[in-house]
Amino acid sequence: MTSKLTGLFGRHKRTVPARPAPGDALAEIADLHVRLGEREVLAGIDLTARAGEVLALVGPNGAGKSTLLAALAADLPATSGVVRIDGRPVGDWSAPELALRRSVLPQSAELSFPFPVGDVVRMGRAPWAGTPYAEADEEAVAAAMAATEVTAFADRPFSALSGGERARVALARVLAQRAPLLLLDEPTAALDLRHQELVLRICRERAAAGDAVVVVLHDLGLAAAYADRAAVLHEGRVAADGLPSEVFDGDLLSLVYRQPVEVFPHPRTGAPLVVPVRGPDGARSAVRNGHPAA
């Protein structure tokens, strides 16, 4: 399977992207609208992902986070507006050229056949076939598997893994691809505490190396601790975009999530801690403010 993918990509002529400079806009969205059926899921989004930063997309279920990431990846067409990757509209790139510029981790990782873990990770190197960088395939695969702690089961079938192990293998494939723009949809959802922290540290390392990382997160604590910027989505729009310390406001988050929360600084790091208001007082407050009771 991996050899077939390599052959498919290797037959197409591609322009290998140059390494971005810090602060370069690797992905830009302008007045993006996406309609799915009768519903407008995204309603006028403006957002930029820059080299050297981790941008967290947060918000409640149905806010449009995954739809935004899919549009950014060119996996979902825009109804109107513009999506650019590496300075060009996504529709101007061929699929092989796009694969050199952005890598995508979807919400769920499923394969129909029991490929060994090592082969699944090697699939991430397929876009580089026929380029000088193909010589780095095995080094890239080994580094990605070590970073995500999946080396020990390289020969096991992907289908035999737990949900968390599959999630880490899927991330290893994305890391092995070594595209300068990483688009990650809920990479921590199936992971335990240790591996949640591991994944976000990897995001920080990739940003420090000059990549742009856009990551959908439900855990606001992880977003506050590891993201350079956070975009809070609410009903298909960006309600706030900026430093987590600025946009993680108790009133805003209580409104967006329809759940009373309080925000206070971590006593050691100063990063915002977002805690739901619980108990009888919180329930009465929720009812008073038109939110569901906690």
Whole-angstrom distance, CA of residue 202 vs CA of residue 182? 11
Whole-angstrom distance, CA of residue 138 vs CA of residue 273? 41
User: What's the order of all strands across the beta sheet hosting 181-185?
Assistant: 102-105, 181-185, 212-216, 54-58, 229-234, 237-242
What pLDDT is attached to residue 294? Answer: 36
Whole-angstrom distance, CA of residue 144 vs CA of residue 9? 21
Mean pLDDT of 272-280: 89
Q: Mean of the per-residue pLDDT values for the chain?
A: 90
> Could you tell me the pLDDT band of residue 216, with boundaries at 50, 70 and 90?
very high
Mean pLDDT of 203-222: 97
> Does 3.40.50.300 match the CATH number of domain 2-248?
yes
Q: What is the DSSP secondary-structure string of 172-225?
A: HHHHHH--SEEEEESTTTT--HHHHHHHHHHHHHHHHTT-EEEEE-S-HHHHHH
pLDDT digits (tens, 9 = 90+) for 121-143: 999 999 999 888 898 899 999 99
Q: Which of 20-34, 129-143, 220-234 has the lowest mean pLDDT?
A: 129-143
Whole-angstrom distance, CA of residue 187 vs CA of residue 199? 7
Query: Please, what sign has the CA dihedral across residues 125, 104, 182, 266?
Result: negative
pLDDT digits (tens, 9 = 90+) for 41-94: 999 999 999 999 999 999 999 999 999 999 999 999 999 999 999 999 999 999
Nearest CA-CA partner of 292 in 251, 248, 257: 257
Phi and psi at 137, nearest 5°, equal -55, -55
Q: Which two tokens stand for residue 285?
A: 């407050």
Domain boundaries, the chain: 2-248, 251-294
pTM for this one?
A: 0.90
Whole-angstrom distance, CA of residue 129 vs CA of residue 10? 5
Contacts of 251 (CB under 8 A, 6+ apart): none
Reported as type and span, the H/E element at residue 233 is strand 229-234
Task: Give the C-alpha distances (Å, rounded to integers) separating 21 from 93, 180, 211, 219.
Answer: 21, 11, 9, 30
Reported as type and span, the H/E element at residue 253 is helix 250-257
pLDDT digits (tens, 9 = 90+) for 183-210: 999 999 999 999 999 999 999 999 999 9
210 dihedral zone (left: phi>0; alpha: psi -120 to 50; beta): left
